[in-house]
Structure 1
Amino acid sequence: MGKRLSKIYTRTGDDGSTGLGDGSRIAKDAPRVVAYGSTDELNATVGMVLACEHVPDPVREVLTQVQHDLFDLGGELCIPGMAMIHDGDIERLEQQLDGFNTDLPALKEFILPGGGMAAAQCHLARTVCRRAEREVVTLSRDEEVRPQAVRYLNRLSDLLFVIARVLARASGHGEVLWQHERRKKPAS
């Protein structure tokens, strides 16, 4: 285990810089910091899903593992050249996604975010995941980023969508479908 923080504030970031895991310093708004910051935010939003009541144990187990993965991914993004997310992690997400999706009805319409608190929080996590993915892609244009990082976030956003559907159904709220026909056509 690396250094332990005995003092939380260091004042070293007062100049607008932050330290990476390899000891180098970069601007707090650098694409690398933005990417791992959004990954950290994503982890917090997954924690919000887990804080909701009535999250089924299989979902709870998967999302707890996801939190550990996201911590690893943040470390990978914070330490240039580090490899902590692997193909097996992505394959696991795909298997979990397939497993949860098996019992869901086929989609015929878009779903609005909602379906109870846990499902709504999961939809929020999904959107934060998509943003984190975009920011990792942005980072990869200028710096080395392993493709597993982008692939993991891409699969995770799909998994979060499916879990939101599972949670909406489990809560009894059900899914709210987008009603594209709700707009009346203007009279000619």
Structure 2
Amino acid sequence: MYIPSSFREENPEKLYDFIEEYSFGVLFSQHQKEAEATHLPFMVDRDNNRLYAHFSRANKHWECITDNEPVLVVFHGPHTYISPDWYEQKDTVPTWNYAAVHVKAKPVIIHEKERLRSMVDQLTHHHEEMVDSEWDYEAAHPKRDRLLKAIVGIQLEILEMEGTFKFNQNRSQEDQKGVIEALSSSKREADQAVAEVMKNTFEDEV
């Protein structure tokens, strides 16, 4: 994707952190000149430089994916409109602040029951811990095993990761401060989320 140098992020650990935080991505592929896309929750395997996910078997997108034929996965974080009214000098144009990570990867479709079970177990444990749940996961095993027949797994060997984190790095500190103040005072959750990211980005400057 097009990324101006001011906004480019190349640190793999930061990109992995971003994917784990905003793990609901979109997998894009092409088959017979037709574009296909599916929204999926992804799991990161940093040690092996891989992503994992699973499709509903009823979703025919997985049938269009050829092993080792590269696909694209897009992850995006907080984003919002930025008004020139928040800058010191108003004679400029609006923009959009956002963060996104693109991953190019080689896919392998997974049908084996044991591998599917392991993938689902890891994904479920990860998210149950995040929500501090008391749900008895072990008690659900019999039904889970039956439902494994309804999904198809996908392993993605990462070929390339690139991130764009566009948060007014190309503006003055006063402009950055003005944007943060305006977004922080907004009632919109998206605005406040971007403000928090900007505060963390410029914590030693503004």
Q: TM-score range, shorter-chain basis?
A: under 0.3
Q: Decide which structure has greater helix share.
A: 1
Structure index of larger Rg = 2
- TM normalised by structure 1 equals 0.25
